[in-house]
Amino acid sequence: MMFEVGAKKIYLPFSNNYEANNIDEVKRFLDCNKIKNLDMVLVHGMSSARMSLNDTENGFFNIDGRSFRFKNLFCVDASILPTSTIESPQGSIMALSHSIIERNF
């Protein structure tokens, strides 16, 4: 899913942070290393899946945190911030997450 929402590459958290540029590379790596039943947490930086008013403005999520491409997918972390914050983003993330949840649920 990360590649489908715009990720250019991901780093798998083993084997010296294996870099994958597409889902086929991830599958090949997992198959070659006989890795099964893998649970993974994806972490990405600020503005990597940013909000926009519509899907033609290079955004992945609307101002309500809802994906333009996937039904019932919401994002409430630092990746949807429209730009990097100078300070720690924790307060901004908490306020934005609360606002998105209040508006949608």
Beta bridge partners of 51: 61
pLDDT of residue 39: 62
pLDDT of residue 42: 52
pLDDT of residue 47: 74
pLDDT of residue 27: 86
pLDDT of residue 78: 83
Give the DSSP letter string of 23-62.
HHHHHHHHHHTT--S--------TTTT-B-SSTTTT-SB-
The pTM is what? 0.52
φ, ψ dihedrals at 58, nearest 5°: 60, 30
pLDDT of residue 102: 92
Please give the average pLDDT of every successive group of 10 residues along the chain, which has 105 residues: 76 75 87 72 66 83 89 86 75 88 88
Do the beta carbons of residue 96 and residue 102 sit within 8 Å? Answer: no
Do the beta carbons of residue 35 and residue 79 sit within 8 Å? Answer: no
Distance CA 39, CA 47 (A): 24
Distance CA 30, CA 85 (A): 35
Do the beta carbons of residue 76 and residue 96 sit within 8 Å? Answer: yes
